[in-house]
Amino acid sequence: MFCPACEITAAEARVLAELRHGLSNRGIAARLVVSPRTVESHISSLLAKTGCGNRTQLLLWALGLPVQR
């Protein structure tokens, strides 16, 4: 379930911006100069905060498109 009181951190926002370009965790990590595990952690946090069940739903949410949950 989406948590409106939960704010997305700056680091999560950077990961989300790269996800919108269709990059893998490894690709995002390379662009942001962090480890793939760090990207995984941010993606997991974003999934929990938005109530999305997977990366595809998270991408749709990031693009402002309807997400079927």
What are the tens digits of pLDDT across the range 47-65?
999 999 999 999 999 988 8
Q: For residue 39, name the pLDDT band (cuts at 50, 70, 90).
A: very high
pLDDT at 44 over 90: yes
Q: For residue 10, name the pLDDT band (cuts at 50, 70, 90).
A: very high
Mean confidence (pLDDT) of the chain: 91
Nearest to 50 by CA among 37, 32, 69, 36: 69
- Domain residue limits, the chain: 10-62
Residues 6+ apart with CB under 8 A from 42: 9, 11, 12, 15
The SS3 of residue 14 is helix
- Taking domain 10-62, whether its CATH number is 1.10.10.10 is answered by yes
Instruction: Report the sign of the C-alpha dihedral through residues 43, 45, 51, 53, in that order.
Output: positive
pLDDT at 67 over 60: yes
